[in-house]
Amino acid sequence: MYLPKRERRMIKKIICVVSAYWFISISLVFINKWLLSDKSVSLNAPIFITWFQCAVTAFLCYLTSYLAMLLPSHVKFPQLNFSFKTSIEILPLSIIFVSMVCFNNLCLKYLSVSFYFLARSLTTIFNVIFTYLLLNTKTSTKALICCAAIIVGYCAGVIVEGNLGSLSWIGLVFGIASSITCALNSIYTAKCLPKVEGSVWRLTFYNNLNSLFLSIPIIGLLEYQPIKEHFFHTSAYFWFIMVISGIFGFAIGYISTLQIQVTSPLTHNVSGTAKAAAQTVLAVIIYHEIKSISWWLSNIVVLGGSAVYAAVRHIEHEQKSKGSMNFNRNDNYFTSVVVVGSDDKDVDDAKHGLLNFVNNDNRNDDDLYDKNRVLSSSKDSLVS
């Protein structure tokens, strides 16, 4: 079947973007696993490693913003003018964010990469719980059935992993803490986006910058001794990998946004679920692990439940959006939602659209929350 040249280019672009997302995301997990728990790494300081990655991400945000000013026709990035007032306003979110990233890394430190996805799979469940408790928004029966499947798969997976003798209970606790903070991060991100004119990148910059200062007391209390003993005994290779992990942490935020732009939020979610499956299989192969059929089945149930949940929520939002658009046309105005654009006009539309959506009296907070969850889905960004 012959395809027009433009469509062929678009297909190639989609394949390249999705492939890049998979490569960066999976690589980041394995890189962090090496940094956090490999025996050759003498520096046992997971919070410091997280701090360093946040520093690289904040620096790259500022550098990209500066390049965008110098080369506006080649680099598209919002201008970053630091405001102490904005930084303080975002501080509650930053506390949740730094907790999420630390718990993510601690979970990865104590658990195998093959079990990492399942250990953090309760994020969807806590999303549903917190949207009800904090936003007073109920979830549909179909979505709740998907949640039930995820819980069943999670419990079965924990039992099987325990029977295999490879389960770390402290790692499991960190996984649950990661799921809780990840769900809270999604909700509070939606609430804080208007403070930075709807710019995900400005929020990323402030979050990582605030995290640098928030992490210092924790590092001083918990990791001063190992840093003092081993800091100057680390190799150049270790610091090279540290820098690469920071660059990949920045890149995953960009490539996630780009994947949504060239496909759709639903495709992005499905891609993320498929990536998690590939990551699990790769981990089993690379680390020469032997898993039972029941272990694989529990992972399949969680992956399937997560994928169907994403599809159900997407369909529900499509239906709500159509109803909202019809209502607004009757009132001679239009409610905008978040979009990701490839030029200045699209970016400006995204900023103003989000603000309109937040300030509109007829909005549904759950709509805003879920659209933002898709946009910031893998931040996770340092551990994807």
What does the pLDDT look like over 341-366, one tens digit per residue?
Answer: 444 444 444 444 444 444 444 433 33
Q: What is the pLDDT of residue 321?
A: 73
Torsion angle in degrees (nearest 10) through CA of 315, 320, 321, 326: 140
Say if residue 294's pLDDT is above 90.
Answer: yes
Tell me, what's the pLDDT at 231?
A: 83
CA distance 282 to 201: 31
Residue type, 50: T
Rounded to whole angstroms, the Cα distance separating 31 from 116 reads 14
Confidence at residue 95, expressed as pLDDT on a 0 to 100 scale: 94
| Residue pair 42/234 in contact by the 8 Å Cβ criterion | yes
Tokens matching residue 378: 């893998």
**Closest Cα partner for 14 from 246, 318, 271, 312?**
271
Asked if residue 171 has pLDDT above 80, the reply is yes
Choice between 43 and 216, residue whose per-residue pLDDT is larger: 216
Mean pLDDT of the 367-375 span:
38
- Say if residue 366 is preceded by a cis peptide, omega within 30 of 0: no
Which among 371, 262, 186 is positioned nearest to 20, based on CA atoms?
Answer: 262
Average pLDDT over residues 106-119: 93
Cα–Cα distance for residue pair 102/294, rounded to 1 Å: 31
User: What does the pLDDT read at residue 54?
Assistant: 93
Closest CA to 374 of 265, 255, 270: 265
Tell me what pLDDT residue 140 has: 92
Q: Which two tokens stand for residue 236?
A: 């150049």
Residue 318 clears pLDDT 90, i.e. is over it: no
Q: What is the pLDDT of residues 116-168, one digit of tens each?
A: 999 999 999 999 999 899 888 888 999 999 999 999 999 999 999 999 888 99
**Rounded to an integer, what is the distance from CA 119 to the centroid of its chain?**
15
pLDDT given at position 209: 94
Q: What is the CA radius of gyration of the chain?
A: 21
Q: Which residue type sits at 108?
A: L
Q: Residues 19, 245, 56, CA angle at the centre, nearest 5°?
A: 120
Do residues 165 and 94 touch, judged by C-beta distance below 8 A? no
Cα distance between residue 349 and residue 344, in whole Å: 8
Q: Is the pLDDT at 278 greater than 90, yes or no?
A: yes
Please determine, for residue 377, whether its predicted confidence score (pLDDT) is greater than 80.
no
CA distances from 195 to 26, 87, 110, 187, 328 (A): 32, 10, 36, 14, 25
114 pLDDT higher than 90:
yes
Of 298 and 372, more confident: 298
Residue 326 confidence (pLDDT) = 55
pLDDT band at 258 (very low <50, low <70, confident <90, very high): confident
Which residue did the predictor score with more confidence, 2 or 368? Answer: 2
Close Cβ partners of 239 (under 8 Å, ≥ 6 residues apart): none
Amino acid letter at 203?
L
Q: How much is the pLDDT for 324?
A: 59
CA–CA distances in Å: residue 172 to residues 117, 151, 231: 11, 14, 29
Query: What confidence tens digit (pLDDT) does each residue in 173-196 have?
Result: 999 999 999 999 888 888 888 999
The rounded mean pLDDT for the chain is: 82
The rounded distance, in Å, linking the Cα atoms of 179 and 302 is 14
Location of structure tokens 């009296």: 361
pLDDT for 1 equals 55
List the single range of 98-107, 238-247, 364-373 with lowest mean pLDDT.
364-373
Query: What is the 8-class DSSP label of residue 206?
Result: H
Most confident of 217-231, 328-342, 369-383: 217-231
| Average of per-residue pLDDT across 218-230 | 89
Which pLDDT value is given to residue 350? 44
Specify the pLDDT at position 186. 85
Query: In this predicted structure, what is the pLDDT of residue 323?
Result: 65
The residues, any chain, with a CB within 8 Å of residue 11's CB and separated by 6 or more, are 3
Encode burial over 280-307: b for 16+ CB neighbours within 10 A, e otherwise: beebbeeeeeebeeebeebbebbbbbbb
